[in-house]
Amino acid sequence: MLALAERPAAYSESALASLWSRAHTLADALVTEGGRRLRVIYPGRQSSGAGPDFRDAVLLNEDGSTLTGDIELHTSAPGWYHHGHQTDANYNGVVLHVVFSSKGHTSTRLQSGIDAPVAAIQTVASNLESADDYASPGIPALEELRQSADIGTTLDAAGDARFLAKSHGFLLEIRELGVDETLYQGLMEALGYSTNRKPFRELARRVPYRALAALRDEPQSVRLLALKAMLLGASGLMHLVREVEEREQLRLMQKRLPKVMPIAKRHWHLFRVRPPNHPVRRITGAAYLLDTCLDAGLNEILIDTLDNGGISQLNARIEQRPHIGKARACDIVVNVALPCLHAYGNTRGDDSLVQAVRDAYAKAPKLQDNEITREMRRLCAIDKSVKLNARRQQGMIHIYRRAVRGRAK
C-alpha cells in the first residue's frame, strides 16, 4: 500500500475523517502549520448534519489550557473558501481546520473575523492508520462510567441531575413569563430540533402565547387557519407552503391579523433539512397542537392529560401527525413538558403534581438515539446489557456535556 504522502491530492474527506477520529491516539502533539503544538484529548463526535464535521473536540494547548470546539475537514485548505464557510456563522465554533494539504495556508478566517489554525496531518497519517479504532479518549468522567460496576444506576442519577437542572431553568422562566408562555417557548424551541432552535425561539418571541390565546374566541372553522397564518406569516416562510389554495387562504387571513415583522430567511437553516424536520411542517404542527389547548390553556391541558393518562397520553397529546411525529413528541415531553410541569408544581407547592411528573419521567420510554447518545455508547462501551430508557439517555447527555464541554470552563 502506498504511503499517504505518496497518494494523490484527491484523498477523500471520508478517509480524512477516519484518520482524524483516531487523533487522540497520537503520542506526540499535533503541530499546526503556524507552529502551534496541540495535543488531541478528544477528536470530537462526527456530525451527520450541516455544519462542521466534528463537534465538541477537546484540545490541549502547550500552556496546559484546554480548547473545546468544532473541527472542519477538507482535503486541502482552500476548500474552506470554495465551500463558502468564511461567510457562514455556523462555522464560527471551529477551533482547528484539519487538512491533508495546507496549500500554504497557516490559518483559516471565520465569519466572526477570528482565525482558526490549519493542521495538515499527512506527516502523522501512518500512525493514525494503524491506531486502534476503539481506543477511548483520556477523559476521566467517561472512563469512570466505562468502569462503573452498575452503569444503569450511574446513568439514572445523571439523568435525574439533568432533569432537575432543566426544571430549575424553567422555574426561573415561569417566574418571569408565566407558565403558559414558558411552556410555549420551550415547545417551539424544541420543534426547531438542532438546526433551527434559535429562529423557532425568536418566532415564539415575536408571536407570544398571549397573542395566540387571543384567537380562542375565533369561530372554530377559522381558528386553526388563523393560528397557522399568524405563525407562518411571522416566520417569513409562508411562501414555502406547497398547496397554492392553502397559501392564498393563509395570506388572506394574515391581512386580518396584527402585523408582525417576519424573520429574515437567512436566519433559517433549510439546507439538508429532512422533510419531516422542515420548519414549515413543524410550525404547522405547532398550530394544530395549540388549537387543541387554547380553550383551557396549554398548562392546564397538559396537567389534565398527565393526571388522566400518564406519560403515554401526554406523548399522544403532543404528537400531531404528520407534522409532529411520535419520536419528536416523546422528545418534547421529556425535555420540555415534564421539567416545566415539575417546576410549576414546585412554584405552587403542589407535591402531587411534582410526584406525578417524577413518576412519568421514570417511566418515559427510550427516545430516538441522537449524535450524543450514539457517541456515548461508543465511548463508554454501553452495550445491550444496559437497558436504556429516556431517563438513562438523558444521563448519557448529562455526563457527555459535563465531561467534554465542561473541560473548557
The pLDDT assigned to 260 comes to 97
Q: What is the pLDDT of residues 291-317, one digit of tens each?
A: 999 999 999 999 999 999 999 999 999
Residue 193 pLDDT grade (very low, low, confident, very high; cuts 50, 70, 90): confident
The pLDDT assigned to 239 comes to 96
> Is the predicted pLDDT of residue 408 greater than 80, yes or no?
no
The residue ranking higher by pLDDT, 138 or 345, is 345
* Helix, strand or coil, per DSSP, at residue 22: coil
| CA distances (Å), origin 180, targets 177, 189, 259 | 8, 14, 23
In one letter, which amino acid is 131? A
Helix ranges (H only) for 209-294 are 209-213, 220-235, 244-254, 279-291
Do residues 134 and 148 make contact, with C-beta atoms less than 8 angstroms apart?
no
Q: What is the pLDDT of residues 61-83, one digit of tens each?
A: 999 999 999 999 999 999 999 99
Instruction: Give the separation between CA 341 and CA 299, rounded to whole angstroms.
Output: 8
Do residues 343 and 380 make contact, with C-beta atoms less than 8 angstroms apart?
no
**Cell representation of residue 11:** 484523498
DSSP annotation of 258: P
The pLDDT assigned to 3 comes to 43
Instruction: Tell me what the pLDDT averaged over the chain comes to.
Output: 93
Q: What is the pLDDT of residues 152-179, one digit of tens each?
A: 999 999 999 999 999 999 999 999 999 9
The pLDDT assigned to 133 comes to 67
The pLDDT assigned to 134 comes to 63
CA 351, chain centre distance (Å): 32
* Residue 380: closest CA among 60, 137, 19: 137
The helix/strand count (H/E) of the chain reads as: 17, 8
User: End-to-end distance of the chain based on CA atoms, in angstroms?
Assistant: 44
- Look-up: residue for cell 473536540? 57
Q: What is the pLDDT of residues 89-114, one digit of tens each?
A: 889 999 999 999 999 999 999 999 99
| CA distances (Å), origin 233, targets 61, 169, 227 | 48, 30, 10
- Which pTM value belongs to this model? 0.90
The pLDDT assigned to 126 comes to 82
> Is the predicted pLDDT of residue 1 greater than 70, yes or no?
no
